[in-house]
Amino acid sequence: MKAGRITLKDISLECGYTVNTVSRALRNDPHLPESTRVLIQDTAKSMGYIRNSMASSLRSGRSHIVAVIVNDLHNQHFCDLLNQMDRELRKVDYNLMILCMQLDDSLAEELIHTAISLGVDGILYFPNFGQRHYIEYMTGNNMPFVLLDRRVNDVDADTVRCDDLQGGYLAGRHLAELGHRRFLFLSGIEKSSSQMDRFNGFLQAIRENGIPGENVRAIPGEQVEEALAQDNIAPLLFPMDYTAIVSFRDEVSYAVMTALYEKGISIPGDISIISFDNLRAENPSRPALTSIYTDRSIAEIGVKLLLERMEDPSLPPRSVVLPVQIFDYGTTAVPKGAS
């Protein structure tokens, strides 16, 4: 019996072929005759051989690992996407490595650094705002990558994201058509392009319905996030000078719903609520919520673009904008007393 890990050399000794031939057999090199290949593969299996990926990657230059860099794992929206990516990548024999920046934006560069150091073949990146610098870091190191969920201004790179402008528009039109005239808009983090687009789309829709922009009370994203973190979102909801709430992501909506329940305010009887993201599509354990989102294809398409980019770095940059839909799960209705 051998001490450490079994290597190609051990197999080579065992079955009489050279290391090279063993290597090729285990990689299913078609130039080897069936019989040799089977013999070697069987021997390897019976000896409990496990390929040393580090050596393999070092030599071949490919690691078969894709890294995804995310903000954190507390957002179910992200987790769903990660799951889907993992599935997509596994299909084509890649591993997904999740690198999490723990809400600390400055970790992004370090994580990209780590990914490059580890020799991943590509990076899926959920950029926050103002991260051109990091993106140039990937470009400078010839690292294939795809931007997800958000576009980054003035950066010409592969991107997949939802049509946030349309999303905001749909939300606004839906509520306006129901008869709502005054709104509370709970923003996401300021300056993210998703945020801006959704807000602008929303404004456009209500204006088209003859509602002035002043009828929207918008709470800055920082305030919302802070309130959420402190489990104290109720103060943001008063005075109740509106009949409908639009919130930037489902997590916030759930917190709001809970706060309203506690005050005895009914949804959608007293207040309508609509939000973004696609929690519900993947996670049936949450209460239904009227929401605007696209399906999981953002993960699927992101992976697809990345694989293509890895294959051919000279491809022109592509940008995929996924259409969104409104899914009415019953948290919106005509405003009170207006039926």
Instruction: List b or e across 41-52, with b for residues whose CB sees 16 or more CB atoms inside 10 angstroms.
Output: bebbeeeebeee
Q: Does 58 contact its own copies by CB under 8 A?
A: yes
Question: Of 13, 18, 103, 191, which lies in the binding site for DNA, with binding defined by CB under 7 A?
Answer: 18
Residue 210 binds which entry of DNA, its own copies, none, with Cβ cut-offs from 5 to 8 Å by kind? none
Q: Which stretch binds DNA (CB under 7 A): 5-13, 86-94, 201-209, 234-242?
A: 5-13
Window 40 to 99, contacts with DNA (CB under 7 A): 49, 51-52, 55-56, 58-60
Distance CA 53, CA 62 (A): 9
| Residues between 87 and 126 with contacts to its own copies, criterion CB under 8 A | 87, 90, 95-100, 102, 113-114, 116-119
Binding test (CB under 7 A) with DNA, winner from 14, 32, 98, 155 = 32
Q: Enter the tokens of residue 21.
A: 């031939």
Helix, strand, coil % over all residues of the chain, rounded to 5: 45, 15, 40
d(CA 152, CA 39): 53
Task: Check: CB of residue 294 under 8 Å from CB of residue 322.
Answer: yes
CB of 112 to DNA, least distance (A): 17
Stretch 198-237 residues interacting with its own copies (CB under 8 A): 228-231
Sequence-distant (6+) residues with CB within 8 A of 194 are 149, 150, 161, 162, 164, 188, 248
Q: Which does 266 bind (CB under 5 to 8 A by kind): DNA, its own copies, none?
A: none
Size (the chain), residues: 339
Closest CB 317 distance from its own copies, rounded Å: 22
Q: How far apart are CA 316 and CA 48, in angstroms?
A: 44
Contact 186, 252 (CB under 8 A): yes
* Total binding residues toward DNA, as defined by CB under 7 A: 27
**Residue matched to tokens 């349309």:** 166
CB of 170 to its own copies, least distance (A): 24
Binder of residue 317, out of DNA, its own copies, none (CB less than 5 to 8 A by kind): none
Task: Please choose which of DNA, its own copies, none residue 255 contacts, taking the beta carbon within 5 to 8 angstroms, the exact cut-off set by kind.
Answer: its own copies
Contacts of 308 (CB under 8 A, 6+ apart): 315
- Of 13-21, 83-91, 188-196, 198-206, which segment contacts its own copies by CB under 8 A? 83-91
Own/partner long-range contacts of 43-50 (Cβ < 8 Å, ≥24 apart): 43/11, 43/14, 43/15, 44/6, 44/11, 47/6, 47/10, 47/11, 47/14, 48/6, 49/6, 49/7, 49/8, 49/10, 49/11, 50/5, 50/6
Question: Which amino acid is present at 207?
Answer: R
The option from its own copies, DNA, none interacting with 99 (CB < 5 to 8 A, set by class) reads its own copies
* Residue ranges that bind its own copies, judged by CB under 8 A: 4-5, 48, 50-55, 57-58, 63, 65, 72-74, 76, 79-80, 82-83, 86-87, 90, 95-100, 102, 113-114, 116-119, 140-142, 228-231, 251-252, 254-255, 258, 261, 282-287
Q: Where does this chain bind DNA (CB under 7 A)?
A: 4-5, 7-9, 16-21, 23-24, 26-27, 31-33, 36, 49, 51-52, 55-56, 58-60
